[in-house]
């Protein structure tokens, strides 16, 4: 079986170091928000070039705590994309605000800045662009719009650790950014985890307070907060994986190049588009085809996993029926959601495995015979 991601191979490659570190965590007697979490925060601050990184329990909490710390809640609107994992919008609802969806650019699948501008009202407080599948959103345009309308921008960078925009790392491009360390994310642990990066000291302080029950001094509370902390074991694992992440991202990019090279003549497969001035780290490698079902069936018959990202846009989710959107409101997102699917992509995919995937895609998706 060739899987979409292969976590067993990934963790096997660093198992010795991880086991040794876990031993040391056990011996230390400190299990939550200890020295390893602090070291992880400091290393990520340095790497991304921000004043603060605050580790939390998961990527969803990273979004929720950031929105809450910015004072966003009831009566506020936050603009995001309908073509993302549910948590991007769920976090907005969780703090009591209303998610407002703006359609995507069908080439990059990222939120379309001109659609964002169209959706701004007097209640709009923030924009959450998502760096979908590992490709940074159009941050210059989005930051300009935000400046003009006095809005906060929070990067949902959960799928994009290590990607860059105009040579700047994602996580340093807006007021704050949120990352997830869920195991399948390109930088992941063996459980849940997340981190927020920001260079706004006051915001960082508020988020730090929120993550431990709204307190800065033990047993004294001046806010209703959360319990959203990172464990030492996860920090230890992430410190090891952080050393590998550039190599792993490079492997992904090389595999992406091979897919591009060998599938470019397939008339029924549309390959991912890399926009200018950014690095796409291919958290997922998604292709479009009107023959999606047929191709996925053929892959499955050959023991190759594939998956639909995302089958139902967020504005059409049952839970958001009350927002009043209908089919046709987000034509680009809806159209892409009918054709897009992911094929295996992870740093440990071998060229032999990839060749097998490519041959089935060419057989089913067709090959132009004019060359
Ligand atoms: C994974 C993901 C999240 C949520 O992260 P968790 O750690 O699973 O809570 C949020 N947004 C996007 C775009 C994601 O892919």
| Count: domains in the chain | 2
Residues 228 and 167 reside in one and the same domain? yes
Report yes or no on 29 lying in a domain: yes
Q: Is residue 181 in a domain?
A: yes
Residue 370 lies in a domain: no
User: SS3 for 240?
Assistant: helix
For ligand 1, atom 7: residue with the closest CA: 59
115 and 202, same domain (yes or no): yes
215 contacts: CB under 8 Å, gap ≥ 6: 209, 221, 222, 225
Q: Among 207, 239, 271, which residue terminates a domain?
A: 239
Looking at the structure, tell me whether residues 222 and 319 fall in a common domain: no
Residues 59 and 208 reside in one and the same domain: yes
Q: Are residues 326 and 359 in the same domain?
A: yes
Cα of 278 vs centre of ligand 1, distance in Å, is 21
**Among 58, 312, 31, 299, which Cα is nearest to 185's?**
58
CA of 62 to the centre of ligand 1 (A): 9
Do 32 and 125 lie in one domain? The reply is yes
Residue 370 has pLDDT above 80, yes or no: no
Which residue from 86, 88, 184 has its CB within 8 A of the most atoms of ligand 1, so it is best to mutate? 88
CATH number for 143: 3.40.640.10
The pairing of strands 340-343 and 285-288 is antiparallel
The CA distance from 15 to 139, in Å, is 37
pLDDT band of 366, cuts 50, 70, 90: low
* Mean pLDDT, range 181-187, rounded to an integer: 98
Q: Is 87 in the pocket of ligand 1 (CB under 6 A)?
A: yes
Q: Is residue 275 part of a domain?
A: yes
Answer yes or no: is 76 within a domain.
Answer: yes
Measured in Å, residue 287 CA sits from the centre of ligand 1 at: 21
130 lines ligand 1 (CB under 6 A): yes
Q: Where are the alpha helices (DSSP H) in 95-229?
A: 113-118, 139-149, 201-211
Residue 193: DSSP 8-state: -
169 is in which domain, residue-wise? Answer: 7-102+109-239
- Residue pair 85/62 in contact by the 8 Å Cβ criterion: no
How many CB atoms within 10 Å of residue 318? Answer: 7
**In this structure, are residues 175 and 154 in contact, taking their beta carbons and an 8 Å threshold?**
yes
Check pocket membership of 84 for ligand 1, CB cut-off 6 A.
yes
**371 assigned to some structural domain:** no
What pLDDT, in 10s, does the model give residues 225-259?
999 999 999 999 999 999 999 999 999 999 999 99
Burial category of 220 from C-beta neighbours within 10 Å (exposed 0-12, middle 13-18, buried 19 and up):
exposed
The verdict on the CB of residue 194 being under 6 Å from ligand 1 is: yes
User: So what's the pLDDT on residue 216?
Assistant: 87
DSSP bridge pairs for 194: 56, 180
Of all atoms in ligand 1, which is nearest to the CA of residue 87? Answer: 10
Residue 204 lies in a domain: yes
Q: Pick from 222, 239, 256: which residue ends a domain?
A: 239
How many angstroms does the Cα of residue 283 sit away from the middle of ligand 1? 12
Shared-domain flag, residues 155 and 284: no
Spacing, Cα 233 to ligand 1 middle (Å)? 20
Q: Of all protein residues, whose CA lies closest to atom 6 belonging to ligand 1?
A: 59
How many C-beta atoms surround the C-beta of residue 183 within 10 A? 16
Indicate the top mutation candidate among 5, 155, 158 to test ligand 1's pocket, ranked by most ligand atoms within 8 A of CB.
158
> Is 80 exceeded by the pLDDT of residue 301?
yes
Give, to the nearest 10 degrees, the angle between helix 35-48 and helix 232-263. Answer: 40
The answer to whether residues 266 and 191 belong to one domain is no
Per-residue model confidence as pLDDT tens digits over 106-162? 999 999 999 999 999 999 999 999 999 999 999 999 999 999 999 999 999 999 999
Whether 365 and 295 have beta carbons less than 8 Å apart is answered as yes
Q: Which atom of ligand 1 is nearest to the CA of 185?
A: 1
Q: Are residues 231 and 90 in the same domain?
A: yes
Q: How confident is the model over 11-27, as a mean pLDDT? A: 97
In the DSSP assignment, the letter for residue 233 is H
From the alpha carbon of 58, which atom of ligand 1 is closest?
7
**Per-residue pLDDT tens digits for 325-356:** 999 999 999 999 999 999 999 999 999 999 99
Are 138 and 281 found together in one domain? no
CB atoms near residue 228 (< 10 Å): 21
Phi, psi of 198 (to 5 degrees): -160, 155
Domain boundary among 239, 272, 299: 239
Tell whether 221 and 256 lie within a shared domain. no
Instruction: State the Cα–Cα distance between residues 296 and 304, nearest whole angstrom.
Output: 9
H runs (alpha helix) in 70-138: 87-94, 113-118
The rounded distance, in Å, linking the Cα atoms of 69 and 208 is 9
Task: Say how many Å lie between the CA of residue 264 and the centre of ligand 1.
Answer: 31
Residue-level pLDDT at 364: 85
Q: Give how far Cα 359 sits from Cα of 91, 353, 356, 366, 367, Å.
A: 41, 10, 5, 10, 10
Tell me the two tokens of residue 248: 């792993």
Banded pLDDT at 367 (limits 50, 70, 90)? low
Q: Is the Cβ atom of 83 under 6 angstroms away from ligand 1?
A: no
1 within some domain: no
- Residue of the CA atom closest to atom 14 of ligand 1: 158
Mean pLDDT of 40-66: 98
Number of the ligand 1 atom closest to the C-alpha atom of 159: 15
Nearest to 230 by CA among 25, 14, 6: 25
Residue 368 scores a pLDDT above 80? no
pTM, to two decimals: 0.97
Backbone angles phi, psi at 79, to 5 degrees: -90, 130
**CATH number (domain holding residue 274):** 3.90.1150.10
Q: How far apart are CA 302 and CA 82, in angstroms?
A: 33
Task: Kindly give the number of the ligand 1 atom that is closest to the alpha carbon of 283.
Answer: 15
> Cβ(85) to ligand 1 under 6 A?
yes
């Amino acid at each position: 079986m060739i899987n979409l991601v292969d976590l067993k191979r990934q963790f096997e490659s660093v198992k010795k170091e991880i086991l040794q570190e876990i031993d040391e965590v056990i011996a230390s007697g400190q299990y939550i928000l200890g020295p390893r979490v602090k070291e992880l925060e400091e290393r990520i601050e340095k790497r991304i070039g921000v004043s603060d990184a605050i580790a939390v329990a998961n990527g969803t909490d990273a979004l929720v705590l950031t929105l809450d710390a910015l004072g966003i809640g009831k009566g506020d609107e936050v603009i995001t994309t309908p073509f993302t994992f549910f948590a991007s919008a769920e976090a907005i609802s969780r703090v009591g605000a209303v998610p407002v969806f703006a359609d995507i650019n069908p080439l990059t699948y990222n939120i379309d800045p001109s659609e964002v501008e169209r959706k701004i009202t007097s209640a709009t407080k923030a924009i959450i662009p998502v760096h979908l599948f590992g490709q940074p959103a159009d941050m210059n345009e989005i930051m300009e719009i935000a400046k003009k309308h006095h809005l906060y921008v929070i990067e949902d960078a959960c799928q994009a650790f290590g990607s860059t925009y105009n040579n700047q790392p994602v996580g340093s491009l807006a007021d704050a950014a949120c990352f997830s360390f869920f195991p399948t994310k390109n930088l992941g642990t063996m459980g849940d985890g997340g981190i927020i990066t920001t260079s706004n000291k006051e915001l960082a302080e508020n988020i730090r307070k929120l993550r431990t029950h709204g307190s800065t001094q033990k047993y004294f509370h001046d806010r209703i907060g959360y319990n959203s902390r990172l464990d030492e074991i996860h920090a230890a694992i992430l410190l090891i994986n952080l050393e590998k992440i550039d190599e792993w991202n490079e492997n992904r990019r090389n595999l992406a190049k091979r897919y591009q090279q060998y599938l470019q003549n397939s008339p029924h497969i549309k390959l991912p588009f890399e926009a200018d001035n950014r690095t796409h780290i291919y958290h997922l490698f998604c292709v479009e085809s009107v023959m999606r079902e047929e191709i996925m069936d053929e892959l499955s018959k050959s023991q190759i996993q594939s998956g639909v990202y995302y089958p139902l846009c967020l504005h059409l989710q049952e839970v958001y029926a009350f927002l009043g959107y209908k089919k046709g409101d987000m034509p680009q997102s809806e159209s892409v959601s009918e054709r897009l699917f992911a094929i295996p992509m992870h740093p440990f995919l071998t060229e032999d495995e990839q060749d097998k995937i490519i041959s089935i895609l060419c057989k089913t998706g067709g090959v132009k015979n004019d060359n």
